[in-house]
């Protein structure tokens, strides 16, 4: 199936026409609140996709205040630096996408937060088997995939040159071939790549002023990366 054919899968593009602000790795940076709100207004974003690490090991009340202040629909997953209790906070103030599939504006989305094991033993880590068991049942072909940790080998290289992404997520991506894979976690791996007809995007850390605008419209998926000066 070609990329254009996948974009037309089940009349996906005919049903979907939305603009999202995509952010990740806020780490409870206070300045990110006003920056995010300003970008929602300036770019007329209809919803915000949060890819985790809303807090920096808590407090979860900060996440509640952040999500509820944005004034648009928020779809969010936790990051590995978020306490497990953040699941309840996201559910109460937005839409939790952790281990969930959902049509958003007619577009199929699936999500998984947390990360594979790290050397830092952060609060929200899972082994590869748990990642596979949580994500595979909600994954489907031609979806938009919201992740905190990236698939192995895709936007996952740290400065030392090591790839730290999840092998289980990579297997699921290869199996279901999503239209677009959104992930954060690796602060240095900012950008958009296309491999084997699949788009992968890391918006960069919102704590440092990075984000992205994602448009899914009648013709295509388009992404505008936003840096600290944008």
Instruction: Inform me whether the pLDDT recorded for 9 exceeds 80.
Output: no
Instruction: Inform me whether the pLDDT recorded for 128 exceeds 50.
Output: yes
pTM: 0.92
Between the CA of residue 37 and those of 76, 115, 222, what are the distances in Å?
Answer: 16, 27, 21
Instruction: Inform me whether the pLDDT recorded for 121 exceeds 70.
Output: yes
Model confidence at 16, pLDDT cuts 50, 70, 90, reads: low
Query: Domain 3-226: which topology?
Result: Purple Acid Phosphatase; chain A, domain 2 (3.60.21)
pLDDT for 13: 38
State the DSSP code for 150: P
- 47, β-bridge pairs: 20, 73
Kindly report which listed range (111-115, 194-198, 214-218) carries the lowest average pLDDT score: 214-218
Return the ∠ at Cα 159 (arms to 156 and 160), rounded to 5°: 100
How confident is the prediction for the chain on average, in pLDDT? 93
Report, in this order, helix, strand and coil percent for the chain, each rounded to 5: 30, 30, 45
């Amino acid at each position: 199936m070609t990329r254009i054919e996948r974009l037309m899968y089940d009349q996906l593009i005919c049903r979907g026409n939305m603009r999202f602000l995509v952010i990740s790795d806020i780490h409870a940076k206070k300045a990110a609140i006003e920056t995010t709100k300003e970008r929602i207004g300036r770019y007329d974003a209809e919803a915000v996709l949060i890819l985790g690490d809303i807090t920096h090991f808590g407090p979860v009340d900060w996440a509640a205040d952040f999500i509820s202040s944005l004034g648009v629909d928020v779809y969010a997953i936790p990051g590995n630096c978020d306490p497990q209790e953040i699941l309840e906070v996201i559910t109460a103030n937005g839409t939790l996408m952790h281990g969930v599939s959902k049509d958003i504006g007619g577009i199929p989305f699936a999500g998984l937060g947390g990360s594979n094991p790290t050397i830092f033993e952060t609060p929200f880590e899972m082994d590869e088997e748990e990642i596979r068991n949580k994500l595979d049942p909600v994954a489907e072909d031609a979806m938009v995939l919201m992740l905190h940790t990236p698939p192995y080998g895709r936007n996952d290289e740290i400065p030392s040159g090591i790839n730290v992404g999840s092998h289980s997520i990579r297997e699921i991506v290869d199996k279901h071939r999503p239209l677009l894979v959104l992930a954060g976690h690796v602060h240095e791996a900012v950008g958009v790549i296309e491999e084997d007809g699949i788009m992968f995007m890391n918006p960069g850390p919102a704590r440092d002023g990075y984000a992205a605008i994602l448009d899914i419209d009648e013709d295509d998926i388009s992404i505008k990366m936003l840096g600290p000066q944008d």
